[in-house]
Chains A and B, each alone.
Chain A
Amino acid sequence: MGPYLVRRLFAVLPVLAVVVTVVFLLIHLIPGDPVSVMLGPDATPTQIEATRQSLGLNRPLWEQLLGFYGRVLTGDLGQSYFLDRPVSRALWERAEPTLMLMLCALVVAVAIGVPSGTIAAAHRGSAWDRGLMMVSLLGVCIPGFWLSLNFIYFFAVRLGWLPAAGYVSIFTDPVAGLRYMVLPAFSLGFNQSALIARISRSCMLEVLQQDYIRTARAKGLSQRVVTWVHAFRNALVPVVTVIGITTAVLIGGAVVTEIVFNIPGLGRLIISAILRRDYPVVQGVVLVTATVYVLINLGVDLLYALIDPRIRYE
């Protein structure tokens, strides 16, 4: 296990290098220019040239890329062109809303997904099962961004129950913070809950057919005990890995959700950075997201290997 872990961790580095290079080239290929955006529409070409020079944007691309690598290795992500602060600080400020959103969405997804999948499996073929699975299929297919719009329309605008958009930190005002989180967390978590429900159901079904469950039942244990104590625990194993993957998927979903709900997280940061051509910020966000994404995937793999010894440490 030990050497396997080390090997896997080292394998992450080239992946990140690929990511950073690809993104660096991509963002510099985008037409448009940070300086024109910064100086406003009426800036003259000489002004623009002077500012380009002072930002080092006139140096050859490969030189900028090497410089970026060098700085990353020393832990320096550079200075944002636009936000008047180091990229690392901008990232740090934006991490909380995104993490909070992902956490809440994950809670929603699991809280809805796992019980409904289990119930459906326990009552296989019943109206419950069919109804739940129908809803969850629909849940997978409803576009999250469109769902968000409808949520805002009904719950914020029509009924006035919840704020339409915005973000309040849970640490400054817990009640308001949670109220602001409800709609985004549900829009983002709903798709995933449907997915988790479907996976939980099939895992439960598989487990329920195992010999030891039959034995338990034969012993005269009640259906409820069998379902929730014996089967549930074992079905949880693959479900946990799905939840891990879900977390990674939520990073992508968070981008759109943050935009619709005006949450000042990493997703909104990278979109506005792309629009402003704030190269250092785009690179910084990508690097951090990719690292987290890769680490989560690695974690899922390790967890899986830990749970299921049949998986070879290749």
Chain B
Amino acid sequence: MGKTLFEKIWESHIVVTKQNEPDLIYIDRHLVHEVTSPQAFDGLRMNNRKVRRPDLTIATMDHNVPTSDRSLPILDQTSAVQIKTLETNCKDFGIKLFDINSPNQGIVHVIGPQLGITLPGSTIVCGDSHTSTHGAFGALALGIGTSEVEHVLASQTLWLEKPKTFEVRVEGKRSNPHAVTAKDIILSIIKNIGTAGGTGTVIEYRGEGINDLSMDERMTICNMSIEGGARAGLIAPDQKTFDYLRDREYTPKNYESLVDSWKDTLKTDSDATFDKQFILDINDIAPQVSWGTNPGMTCDVDEPIPSPDEYSNGDANQKKGAEKALEYMDLKSGTMIEDIKIDRVFIGSCTNARLEDLIEASKIIQGQKVASSVNAMVVPGSQMVKRQAEEMGLDKIFIDANFEWREAGCSMCLGMNPDILSPGERCASTSNRNFEGRQGNGGRTHLVSPVMAAAAAINGHFVDVRKLDLN
């Protein structure tokens, strides 16, 4: 019987295997950031251990860094200590670091692909759940905890139980791909499979709807696999993948021969079977807006907010969850999404802060102004994205529209730096989690695509971007 892409990558990375025990899997790339690594380095020190493969390990600072003027000192002392700690750890253990002043600094999942560090068929880990992003290149990319970070630093391996396989097939073509985006596809998938729908599995996204996507869009899809509960998400590499990674700063010297070897092997065999399957038809899907406190609580932009009964389908616990969510969000069932007013707009995060995201959002706002009641900001995913956008004049479009144009980082996706919502503020956000308090204690997050966020900024409330002329 044939094998899935995931099974091929897994099997080619087994170092030790025993019946009824986890496999010891070799890790080809380890990405490190300031928040989930200090305790791992401490563990190494306590046990007199070193980093086994500094040449497979890359670090940057993203979660904590201010996105305002970088020439100023970091005011938050605990953040400053954590950033300093990463610098010291990288120096002591010989790890390459893109620090706050590096032209390569940025969100770890944005810079990996941009620098050609992410490679098809490889295994990639990072102490961050959105590591799944790199799956867009046909890599098996897993988010891990700090103990596992320490384990990988010390041994370049991980003990892992083999996940099950989950095929998510995306069929059809979007009639308006500028209005209905990759973000809307992945939110639709999560709405349908649920936030635990992918637990214990690695998703492979397949089908015409996936093949049609650009690499930036594929990263948005794979990024949110974790929001569907999956261990990882991946997409088989194709010509777009190979072209994207060519001639990047860290693209391997023998790249073309690697591509030749990937072309034949990195795909699911036609007779392979998956443990689970879900099919989404995207011919008629609408822009999505989350209304609750997890990413599965999402509906179409032209729909009313569902009642807890409609949402929960008879599950008493889910119903209770929906009631709590509506209370937290200060929303009522039956309210039309387009009638929801917003206070803040955040265009950023490892989900949606790549160059294409900024280009699409800028088209919406060109020549217009952010509504006077709204405070809006753009936080490019990396310093490289920022430079590229500036070369295209996008910064001017955003600034002219009264958006704040910031330095790269995770920023208001999780609010570890000064970019946070105040209690009660409502935000249209291109990030990945609408959990209670995620963007600031008491803050209310609605997950949307970059174009939906941009349109909401201009109008002060959500609007269906399909109604706008986007060509």
Q: Do A and B bind each other?
A: no
